[in-house]
Amino acid sequence: MATAAEYSEETSQSKPDSPVHEEEYEHVRIRFQYLKSTRSVKDCFVGRLPKYINPCKDEDILKGEGNSYSIYNVTYDQEFIISRPLSLEKDVCNEWFSNRPPSEDMAWMEIIRKKRSYPKSAKYGMKFSFRGVRIVGGSMTSPNTFVGHWKLLATNDRYEHMEVSVQAESLKVNIEKHFDIDDLFDTNDVFHFKLEVAFESLHDTIIVHKTSTCLVMVLNLKSSPKIYKQTPGRTVTAIGIQTGFENVGCVNTYCIEFDLCRHELTEIELLLARFIFCGFHVAYANLKTTFVNSACPAIALATDDFEVAYAWQCVQSIGYKVTDQLSPEIKRYIEQLCREKASQIAQIFYNLAVRLIEKPFFFFREELDLIIQRTTKTVNAKKDVPSHCSLAARVMLTPTKLIYLPKEPVFQNRILRQYGEDYFIKVLIRDDDFEKLSNVQSRALDNILDRMKEIFKEGFNIHDRHYEFLGCSNCQLREHSFWFFHPHDDINAQGIRKSSGDLSSEMCIASYISRFGLCFSSTQRTVDVDKDCVEYIKDVTNDKYCFTDGIGCISPHLAKRVAKELHIYPVPSAFQIRFGGCKGVVAQNPALGNEKDALCIRSSMKKFESDSRNLEILEVTRPGRLHLNRQVIMLLSGLGVPDHVFLNLQEEILIDMAEMLLDDEKALSALLEDTDSTRQRANYDGYFR
């Protein structure tokens, strides 16, 4: 079955038996999704179409593939040839929605036309702006059911203050709530804001519901919009509560209602055409809307197993599209599963969260049952994790919400090895589009920083645990990620910091974080080195330079022991290390002897005192790949390598890249090229990044 993009570039070849000139005809596809049966389309639609719309090819029917929702799992695709394209959408929609049987209330209808059929103005980056629209935030719980939670109304329900604008050049949708001169005297300015939604943050189908008086456009989100608080003369990044709705981060769908008495239908249709040009599908549906005045309460599982409770939080934190379906019956079913599948239920919830977050809507009970079927045996995820990695829980803090993420493998560090990973959690600070926070405007991030301070000072709770800030490495700090710890058995974050080394001389907060961060460097544990085998030596310097900054020595004998522990052969010539409170690189020095362990630490390598005696390894020297570039080719050519050698290499790689699109094995091989022998990528916090 051709996609909309493929079909838009097809050339028209079929001709009807009619004297009308060929240029007046147009080939279109009409696609129905979420059908129960194709019979309803054939009986109630195709046979009733106006005479200027004629089927010209056999239909394509898919069942159980592509888009499906419970028993609504049939897709019907039919090509037609028409002679009056200007009235196509109106006539087709009227015919379907007037004659559609009640059993097909879930169905979507999409009209796929060649892009050249749309007005030229839809192709260019013009700005669309609609003021006085009605906007509701909520979720889709089925292909045609929208549940509203938040009405974005201006003060005193002044709809004219709500504006939706689409910036086609920057590929963004802006939802703005304006203020006027009267609002300047209102001390509560939390209602003056803008939501910014990037096109890439939207699912690929725009749902349209049209009546005689209004047109409703439904936008399903992959990630929450960015929020900007607007005050006279200033725009700053805002947090969720400053919109006047605390749970704005739980909104997965925005429903925009255009009043056809106020807004021109032709301009709205031009906007829809622009979405199509940008790669979106536009599907017409009979939308049903409900509104709930309060947020659906999250289900707290009655379990003493923290991992089960955490895994369930990963599911619930997806948003309203999950919580709107958590009925009392679903709660009882989940509690039953927790009893019957105690050994599997955490992994079931993790797998469910990964599946649901990618879908704009779903039938929760069926999705859960499908995941249960696929998780057929007891899963011990730790068995598949390399010995130098740990499974770590992760939480993402955004301006609007806290997102719980399934555990993932991370390279171990000294702290994780010493205390175990079960009571640690990694907190990632991200914008609502999951990118790193950044803003060049002075004080633009004040609201978000205030929220971060609260988390760092007070910590946060998950189930029956309270997590408090512990620390981070320099690399993790640049990546806006931090480690938190749950105190237990008389072990707390302050105790861990004290036992890691003597940092009492560090009065500067930045230096303290940097020094303590050495303990969070991603390392592999190797051999313990006795104090008698360690020698602290001076750096080689002159009046201006230090020639040995961060570079020490290691004896060949000790290097062999380290390489054996790492299962590396041949023995590397140098190692990037962490040793107690020291960091840097040690290179093999044959003068230290082949019969004894010896480690020479320069003064520039020592940052603080620590009792840790294990030689931890971050990286080792190894052969690197040579990537041909203009300079290397010129050098090799000058040394006598003929030109046809380079041309043959270029042709081979181009053929391999083309075959990757057709051959799964070649594609998998390319993906695994930079993966370690366990074929498992880990979240690696490097050193020289």
Q: How far apart are CA 553 and CA 548, in angstroms?
A: 10
Q: How many CB atoms lie within 10 A of CB 316?
A: 19
CATH code: domain of residue 80: 3.30.70.260
Q: Has residue 349 been placed in a domain?
A: yes
Kindly report the backbone phi and psi dihedral angles of residue 411, in degrees, each rounded to the nearest multiple of 5, phi listed first: -65, 140
Same domain, 653 and 540: no
Measured in whole angstroms, how far is the alpha carbon of residue 447 from the centre of its chain? 23
Final residue of a structural domain among 561, 590, 620 = 620
Q: In angstroms, rounded to a whole number, what is the distance separating the alpha carbons of residues 11 and 8?
A: 9
pLDDT of residue 448: 77
Together in a domain, 261 and 280: yes
Residue that terminates a domain, selected from 520, 538, 567: 520
58 & 173 share domain: no
pLDDT of residue 638: 93
Length of the chain: 689
Q: What is the DSSP string of 453-501?
A: HHHHHH-EEETTEEEEEEE--HHHHHTTEEEEE--BTTB-HHHHHHHT-
Query: In terms of domains, do 469 and 613 share one?
Result: no
Q: Do 575 and 629 form a contact (C-beta atoms < 8 A)?
A: no
Last residue of a domain, one of 582, 604, 620: 620
Same domain assignment for residues 631 and 688: yes
CA distance 407 to 396: 12
pLDDT at site 316:
94
Of 127, 227, 253, the closest CA to residue 175 belongs to 227
Q: Which long-range contacts (CB under 8 A, 24 or more apart) does 173-180 make?
A: 173/197, 173/199, 173/202, 173/219, 175/135, 175/225, 175/254, 175/256, 176/230, 177/152, 178/154, 179/230
What's the helix, strand, coil split of the chain in %, to 5? 35, 30, 40
Helices 664-671 and 643-660, axial angle in degrees (round to 10): 110
My answer on whether 101 and 83 are in the same domain is yes
329 and 370 co-located in one domain = yes
pLDDT of residue 132: 87
> What are the φ/ψ torsions at residue 106 (nearest 5 degrees)?
-85, -15
556 and 673 housed in the same domain: no
CA distances from 405 to 312, 351, 391, 677 (A): 10, 11, 12, 26
Residues 281 and 311 in one domain: no
Q: How do beta strands 214-220 and 205-210 pair?
A: antiparallel
Q: What is the pLDDT of residue 322?
A: 94
- Say how many Å lie between the first and final Cα of the chain, rounded: 46
Q: Could you tell me the maximum CA-CA distance found in the chain, to the nearest angstrom? A: 101
**Residue 321 within a domain:** yes
Closest CA to 360 of 545, 153, 213, 145: 145
Asked if residue 50 has a cis previous peptide bond (ω within 30° of 0), the answer is no
| pLDDT attached to residue 438 | 73
Amino acid at 532: D
> Residue 356: which of 393, 311, 397 has the closest Cα?
311
> What is the per-residue pLDDT for 256?
94
Question: Is there a single domain that holds both residue 646 and residue 546?
Answer: no
405 and 546 inside one domain = no
The answer to the question of residue 186 being in a domain is yes
* Residue 300 maps to a domain: no
Residue 480 φ then ψ, to 5°: 60, 45
Domain residue limits at 37:
4-117
> Using only C-alpha atoms, what is the Rg of the chain?
31
The secondary structure of 558-624, three-state, reads: HHHHHHHHHCCCCCCCEEEEEECCEEEEEEECHHHCCCCCCEEEEHHHECCECCCCEEEEEEECCCC
Helix or strand (DSSP H, E) at 543: none
**Which of 190-212 are b and which e, b meaning 16 or more Cβ less than 10 Å from the residue's Cβ?**
ebbbbbbbbbebbbebbbbbbee
Tell me whether residue 297 is in a domain: no
- By the 10 Å C-beta count (0-12 exposed, 13-18 middle, 19+ buried), 515 is classed as buried
Number of helices and strands in the chain (H, E): 18, 31
Has residue 296 been placed in a domain?
no
Q: Which is nearest to 196 in space by CA: 374, 354, 432?
A: 432
Q: Indicate the burial class of 355 (C-beta count within 10 angstroms; 0-12, 13-18, 19 or more).
A: middle
CB 303 within 8 A of CB 338: yes
Q: Alpha-carbon distance 341 to 373, whole Å? A: 12
Q: What gap in Å lies between CA 445 and CA 435, rounded to an integer?
A: 14
What domain count does the chain have? Answer: 6
- Would 684 be classed as within a structural domain? yes
- Given a cut of 50, the residues of the chain with pLDDT beneath it are 1-23, 154-156, 181, 184-190, 676-689
Helix axes 345-356, 364-374, angle to 10 degrees: 130
267 vs 165: CA distance, rounded Å: 12
d(Cα 460, Cα 468) in Å, to the nearest integer? 7
Residue with tokens 């989100």: 221
Residues 426 and 458 in one domain: yes
Angstrom distance (rounded) from CA 553 to CA 577: 11
